[in-house]
Structure 1
């Protein structure tokens, strides 16, 4: 099969993923996650239930598909950083840029559609539970990017970094969900990010290839 045909096939598959996921999310937002069946989603997307499960192994995946592109985001930032830039510096800059862009992943986004999606996500226990798997895969990808030669040390570093990113986003989302605008929260979000990354930098020496990191006061 030619690369062009393979690329077209993959694009069609991706479009199907997105169309089915968006149809499902619209139904979940309107009626609630637990009140919409997989069969109803399949019917709305004009596909069979077995076909839907080939794309999405679990009902929760219909919602978490929106996170698919972000699962290895931290790892991609680290591997694609400029020469002379440390992993933490690259991740810090990326997060701060996300705050400026009101990237929903940072929690600092007050667009009505994003607010509705986040309320669906964090208001559904099964979706919250499913997020733990997403975070675990993010940690594993980041650990490999930091240093594939020291798996335990790299996992310790990656776990702390992913936890910091999650806590920062959770804090931003908590305030916006309580009624503040992204503009009102932005300055505090930048300050909190600076504090968080400073704590990581002072308390965590990033692992070098073949060397375990030292953890403790800087």
Structure 2
């Protein structure tokens, strides 16, 4: 359905407020900027800001409603015969190549990460969002697999997949913050992603088994006496 004039103006106002807010956050830091500062920069009233965003954290995380259901979209977008893990592997590797924001791999992700790390309230909100994403994905997995309400498998699978992608993304951002270029990070991230998804596909049942066998059976000492 074609967007009406009123809806378009509301969308543009919301985007202008979010853009102004992010600009201020990047310059001054999240905690030092007030909603009144954002309202002045966007040339709107404080009430107008709160009409579009419930909290100051929502101003920073203006895509949160979309982000929360992106993993469910990956599940519904599987190719014929494709497993859930394979779909996430394909989606994550594609995001690496495209530097896409959906996994926090876009330009500016290091700035975003620094701002979050400097603000306790943003860190708390990010944890809430991660919980919401896990819940949404678990519900989707339960739906598509027709899982029993008491079956914990959808929750386990959702937690494992999303924590794997978060681990990969966070470490990529950490290396960027440490001064590495994307050209240096890219091959490492691609290799790590393949290894992580291999592990998710095969399971961790034999992880550490070889090491345990070596510990249980240390090499025999050679008699050096003559």
Q: If the TM-score is normalised by the length of the shorter chain, which range does it land in?
A: 0.7 to 0.9
Q: Deviation of residue 107 (structure 1)? A: 4.5
Alignment-derived partner of residue 140 in structure 1: 135
Q: Deviation of residue 138 (structure 1)? A: 1.2
- Normalising by the residue count of structure 2, what TM-score does the alignment of the two structures yield? 0.80
Q: Deviation of residue 49 (structure 1)? A: 1.6
CA distance in 2, matches of 1:131, 1:57: 16
Alignment-derived partner of residue 93 in structure 2: 96
CA distance in 2, matches of 1:174, 1:115: 8
CA distance in 1, matches of 2:7, 2:162: 30
Structure 2 gap ranges (5+)? 208-226
CA distance in 2, matches of 1:14, 1:45: 14
Alignment-derived partner of residue 130 in structure 1: 125
3-state secondary structure, aligned to 1:88: helix
Structure 1 gap ranges (5+)? 205-215
Computed over aligned residues only, the root mean square deviation of the Cα atoms, in angstroms, reads: 2.2
Selected match of 2:110 from 106, 115, 128: 115
Q: Deviation of residue 178 (structure 1)? A: 0.3
Q: Deviation of residue 120 (structure 1)? A: 1.5
CA distance in 2, matches of 1:159, 1:167: 12
Relative to structure 1, is the Cα distance of residues 203 and 131 closer, same or farther in structure 2, using a 3 angstrom cutoff?
A: same
Question: Is 1:69 aligned to residue 66 of structure 2?
Answer: yes
Alignment-derived partner of residue 23 in structure 1: 20
Q: Deviation of residue 8 (structure 1)? A: 4.9
Structure (1 or 2) with the larger CA radius of gyration: 2
Contact 2:110–2:174, Cα closer than 8 Å, also in 1? no
Contact 1:19–1:45, Cα closer than 8 Å, also in 2? yes
Q: How many residues align?
A: 202
Contact 1:99–1:186, Cα closer than 8 Å, also in 2? yes
Alignment-derived partner of residue 173 in structure 1: 173
Q: In the TM superposition, what are the counterparts of 1:26-45 in structure 2 within 5 Å?
A: 26-45=23-42
- Normalising by the residue count of structure 1, what TM-score does the alignment of the two structures yield? 0.83
Question: Is 1:191 aligned to residue 191 of structure 2?
Answer: yes
Q: Deviation of residue 9 (structure 1)? A: 4.3
Alignment-derived partner of residue 212 in structure 1: none
3-state secondary structure, aligned to 1:180: coil
Alignment-derived partner of residue 163 in structure 2: 163
Relative to structure 1, is the Cα distance of residues 105 and 182 closer, same or farther in structure 2, using a 3 angstrom cutoff?
A: farther
Contact 2:109–2:173, Cα closer than 8 Å, also in 1? no
CA deviation digits over 1:147-172, x for unaligned, max 9?
22435321221111111111010111
CA deviation digits over 1:171-216, x for unaligned, max 9?
1111111011111011110111111111211228xxxxxxxxxxx5
